[in-house]
Amino acid sequence: MVYVYEIESDGLAKYSEDYNSSSLTFFQEDSLINLPGAMIENSTITVPEYQLVQRLDQWSNMMDGIRFKFDNALPLNPSAPPDIVPSKYLLFNADGSPFDSLQFIQWFFDDIINIEMSYNNLASYQRRLNFDYQIEFFSEPVGDTINVGAGTMGLPFRITNLYTNKKVGVICFDLGTNNNPADGVEAGVGDLSWTRGEEISFTNDTVSIAGEQLVKYNFNLIINYFIPTGKQFNLAWSPTAEYSENDTVFFAQMYWSTSSNSKNVPPSSIFVDADNDGVNDNTWKQVYPWKDGDKLEYGPAKFFENGDNWVSDMSVLGKVSAVVDTTLDTIKVVPNPYIVNSRFNETRDSRKIRFTNLPQECRITVYTVTGELVKVLDHNNQFDGNEWWNLRTANNQEIVPGLYIYHVESKNGEEKIGKFAVIR
């Protein structure tokens, strides 16, 4: 439910009603003190006079000459868990600095690293977990160690719940790049090595339910990336070939590099001690597309929660505001990146991105990274700071996946330049 009431400059309700707690039953008192904006002092409970009380996802009655709707983008009672559309996707270097444009292009368009998270089941979705996660990547499989069948598997990443700040315990069934046990070793099945595309299950994620800390299984994660077919063929490991230090091969859907001469020893992560000296004689190790220490902060779209609140100054509706350089700092593109093949985009006609927090009058110009003009959008709206774009060029052609630059210029000449990605 949404409750609307008028406040003074100090944030307290302008109009309210007092109740003496001594004249109330336990349940009456409990109901009142849990209302939005309610306060209790000594034996007096002060409750705001609500101008409006309504359900989410529907237009309100007229209030002070306006109507509005709070739209919770996530379905509240679906028959099956919906696909996860990330509301947060931030990439950082090991030193905490954000990725620059070249790193961004490398990640999305050269290596085509794809992160896909899904709910385990409907029950996990209905927990309405508003969590963000950090995935820290490593150049070797030292991020985490898990038990798999008769052995152990090292993972080249570690997952942390940013809400609880606790490491997430995970499992992997070692079913290969297609998560199909029938595929065999050529797909990475049963090799005790993490293979791109193998599903990771968040089986030990700490959540709070009714005030109690519990370990639950809520999400599944797939991390995949692109290896060109030509390289898969040209670099395919051969038992008859002799390999030298730093040679790279393709085997079991992964790149591998050898630290010394090798022949007729298939790449693997298994510890081999042929001469019983306690030293690993296996010269192969996996090669990953990320750098050691790269971090991704990833968050599913969030639900409204009890206590979420907004303060709106109704007197500024329609008022023309002067635009300064800091006014444009909050402009964003959502979603970013835009994932073309997401089932969230139901039809071609519904494919849109949104420029948010725009000034009342401005021009948005979209370019490719090479400077080619794609589209010009003129925004002129006193009440809505959003401008939607259907991802089609000035010639009404659908844009191709890639990195795009946008330039926003206000009526008085202030500017903002940003970027967004469209990926498959």
CA angle, 137 then 141 then 147, to 5°:
115
In this structure, the answer to whether residues 94 and 182 fall within a common structural domain is yes
Q: How many whole angstroms separate alpha carbon 46 and alpha carbon 38?
A: 6
Q: Has residue 174 got a pLDDT over 90?
A: yes
Whether residue 59 is contained in a domain is answered as no
336 band by pLDDT with thresholds 50, 70 and 90: confident
Q: Are strands 332-334 and 353-356 parallel, antiparallel or unpaired?
A: antiparallel
In this structure, the answer to whether residues 32 and 103 fall within a common structural domain is no
pLDDT recorded at residue 346: 42
Whether residue 280 is contained in a domain is answered as yes
Q: Has residue 377 got a pLDDT over 90?
A: yes
Whether residue 312 is contained in a domain is answered as no
In this structure, the answer to whether residues 95 and 189 fall within a common structural domain is yes
Whether residue 394 is contained in a domain is answered as yes
316 band by pLDDT with thresholds 50, 70 and 90: low
52-67 pLDDT, tens per residue?
Answer: 888 777 788 877 777 7
385-411 pLDDT, tens per residue?
Answer: 899 999 999 999 999 999 999 999 988
253-286 pLDDT, tens per residue?
Answer: 999 999 999 888 899 888 777 778 877 778 999 9
200 band by pLDDT with thresholds 50, 70 and 90: very high
In this structure, the answer to whether residues 7 and 111 fall within a common structural domain is no
In this structure, the answer to whether residues 158 and 295 fall within a common structural domain is yes
| DSSP per-residue letters across 368-419 | ETT--EEEEEEEE-SS---EEE-SB-TTSPBPPSEEEEEEEEETTS-EEEEE
Whether residue 70 is contained in a domain is answered as no
In this structure, the answer to whether residues 102 and 204 fall within a common structural domain is yes
In this structure, the answer to whether residues 271 and 332 fall within a common structural domain is no
Whether residue 9 is contained in a domain is answered as yes
In this structure, the answer to whether residues 353 and 399 fall within a common structural domain is yes
Average pLDDT, the chain: 87
Q: How many whole angstroms separate alpha carbon 257 and alpha carbon 244?
A: 9
pLDDT recorded at residue 372: 92
In this structure, the answer to whether residues 261 and 174 fall within a common structural domain is no
Q: Has residue 330 got a pLDDT over 50?
A: yes
pLDDT recorded at residue 101: 87
Instruction: Look up tokens 């950090």; give the residue.
Output: 134
Q: How many whole angstroms separate alpha carbon 191 and alpha carbon 252?
A: 9
Whether residue 69 is contained in a domain is answered as no
Tally of domains in the chain: 4
SS (H, E, C) 228-242: CHHHHHHCECCCCCE
- Closest by CA position to 57, among listed 68, 71, 44: 71
Domain-terminating residue out of 267, 300, 333:
300
Whether residue 310 is contained in a domain is answered as no
Q: Has residue 86 got a pLDDT over 50?
A: yes
In this structure, the answer to whether residues 358 and 415 fall within a common structural domain is yes
Q: What is the mean pLDDT of residues 141-159?
A: 91
Q: How many whole angstroms separate alpha carbon 281 and alpha carbon 270?
A: 10
Q: Which of 79-83, 158-162, 323-327 has the lowest mean pLDDT?
A: 323-327
In this structure, the answer to whether residues 164 and 295 fall within a common structural domain is yes
Q: Which of 79-88, 264-273, 354-363 has the lowest mean pLDDT?
A: 264-273
Q: What is the mean pLDDT of residues 69-87?
A: 82
In this structure, the answer to whether residues 253 and 346 fall within a common structural domain is no
**Structural domain boundaries, residue 115:** 86-225+291-300
Residue 322 sits in a domain of what CATH number? 2.60.40.1930
pLDDT recorded at residue 323: 65
